[in-house]
Amino acid sequence: MKVMNLLKEARIAAGLSIEKAAEKLNISAGYLSQIENGHRHVSAERAEQIAKLYKKRKDEIFLPSRYAVREVSSDSA
């Protein structure tokens, strides 16, 4: 399931319209819609605010970030 579906489902389960959720988060409904549709990334702080509003844990509605692993050579040539 995609993140956007998890977010929208959590918002609806919390009984919030996109307009009401955005108002409580102090952002525009358009911005929240972009987050739900995967067109915007959110900060960890904003993700926490959304999760709290929807009464969910952050990891329930946001997938973990992918981290690049950089190999460091032990050769100093």
pLDDT in tens, 20-66: 999 999 999 999 999 998 899 899 999 999 999 999 999 889 876 54
> What is the fold, at CATH topology level, of the domain defined by 3-59?
434 Repressor (Amino-terminal Domain) (1.10.260)
Q: Which has the closest alpha carbon to 4: 40, 56, 48, 52?
A: 40
Domain ranges of the chain: 3-59
Q: What's the start-to-end Cα distance of the chain, in Å?
A: 46
d(CA 39, CA 31): 9
Query: Considering the entire predicted model, what is its pTM?
Result: 0.75
Please report, for residues 26, 42, 45, 76, 77, the alpha-carbon distance to residue 49 in angstroms, rounded to integers and kept in the order given: 10, 10, 6, 45, 48
Greater confidence (75 vs 7) lies with 7
